[in-house]
């Protein structure tokens, strides 16, 4: 049952990421992959919150936890696309843009995951009162 949940969550997460990429493709026309960055930021924030608030503080069904955490969020965010987009920018001579993307992705992703975790921990404590 876990495999089915992860697969269904993965299908939904991939579709959501594709929609984010489509809807943001016209924001920047300089080759910067803003859609992937937005998806990775949103996924980092959500997964931090979900881990601290839901998984760590409840008896969430393991199938649902894997469906949302691994399937949905794992496929919504994407390291492979980030890596390929960075490589393409480097191949096209956009070294500065590629370095900016790497820095924004790493620092922003970690910051948002930590922020989500803190928010989840705080909301979990407040809900437990």
Question: How many other C-beta atoms are found inside a 10 Å radius of the C-beta of residue 104?
Answer: 15
| Whole-angstrom distance, CA of residue 57 vs CA of residue 32 | 38
Ligand-binding site membership of 67 (annotated): no
| Whole-angstrom distance, CA of residue 106 vs CA of residue 94 | 18
Query: Which residues fall within 8 angstroms of residue 20, CB to CB, at 6 or more apart?
Result: 35, 38, 39, 42
**Dihedral pair phi/psi, residue 115, rounded to 5°:** -65, -45
Ligand-binding site membership of 74 (annotated): yes
Please give the annotated binding residues, written as ranges.
Answer: 74, 77
Please give the annotated binding residues for Na(+), written as ranges.
Answer: 74, 77
């Amino acid at each position: 049952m876990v495999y089915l949940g992860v697969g269904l969550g993965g299908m939904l997460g991939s579709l959501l990421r594709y929609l984010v990429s489509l809807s943001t493709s016209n924001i920047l026309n300089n080759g910067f992959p803003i859609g992937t960055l937005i998806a990775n930021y949103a996924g980092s924030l959500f997964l931090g919150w979900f881990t601290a608030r839901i998984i760590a503080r409840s008896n969430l069904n393991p199938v649902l936890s894997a469906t949302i955490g691994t399937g949905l969020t794992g496929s919504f965010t994407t390291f492979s696309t980030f890596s390929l987009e960075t490589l393409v920018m480097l191949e096209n001579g956009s070294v500065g843009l590629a370095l900016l993307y790497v820095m924004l992705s790493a620092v922003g992703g970690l910051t948002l995951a930590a922020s989500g975790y803190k928010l989840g921990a705080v909301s979990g404590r407040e809900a437990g009162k």
